[in-house]
Amino acid sequence: MSASVPPPVPPPFTPLILPCVDIQQGRAVRLFEGDPERETVYFESPLKAAQHWVSLGAGLLHLVDLDAATGRGENAAIIAEIVQQAGVPVEVGGGIRDRARAEALIELGVSRVVIGTAAVARPELVSELLTAHGPERVVVSVDARGLEVATHGWAQGSGIKVAELTAELAGRGLETLIFTDVSRDGTLRGLDAELMAEVRALWINTLIVGGGVRDLQDVALLSALKIQGAIVGRAIYEGTLPYPLPT
């Protein structure tokens, strides 16, 4: 009698780490809790920052135009330069509040546009962009303090609960959601495990999270919750999380 063959062991779930290049006044920075007055400059050139992460193996870059998000200007020329020279797909968020701005970025060659405040103020914009460009080109970033959505560069509370907004976005056909814990972003405090679990339960499609990612323990949490990825800035800039992840 032959011995039974054990079932194959599934491979470990490894989340995707998306290096973040936040652009403010022409430089690559990270903000503490989203406060534009509390910045750390990591690269004088955002293009150099992008090229650095690509040289280490990044297959997708997350750019944020902080000046556009806060209404203090924009960095379209720098974004265009990165899109043209990075050599990998680029997604861009920050201040995309109408279809014209989203489509201008798509025309620049941006792979995915990330809609934030406009998804709250004008949810029909999400539907318009999904219809015109498909779910692979449109991402919504739900930025929150706890489970209340924050808007306008994270400066304002909206009174809208994350559960309400995610339900509406799912109904509109959104596939990929970014959830950022504003209270931890840029702090290296680690992910809020309870909050991440709550958001995972609310969003069954592709989920990318951010806000406080610090080390491999956070990556293990993402893996346990089957969260597909994380946007990471300060942790990889300062080396508390190795990049690329060890195999």
Enumerate the active-site residues. Answer: 22, 143
Determine contact, residues 152/158, Cβ cutoff 8 Å.
Answer: no
Determine contact, residues 126/169, Cβ cutoff 8 Å.
Answer: yes
Question: Which residue(s) pair with 91 in the sheet?
Answer: 62, 112
The amino acid that residue 201 corresponds to is: A
Cis peptide leading into residue 244 (ω within 30°): yes
Between CA 53 and CA 6 the distance in angstroms is 40
Tokens of 193: 């495990």
Helix (H) or strand (E) segment spanning residue 105: helix 99-108
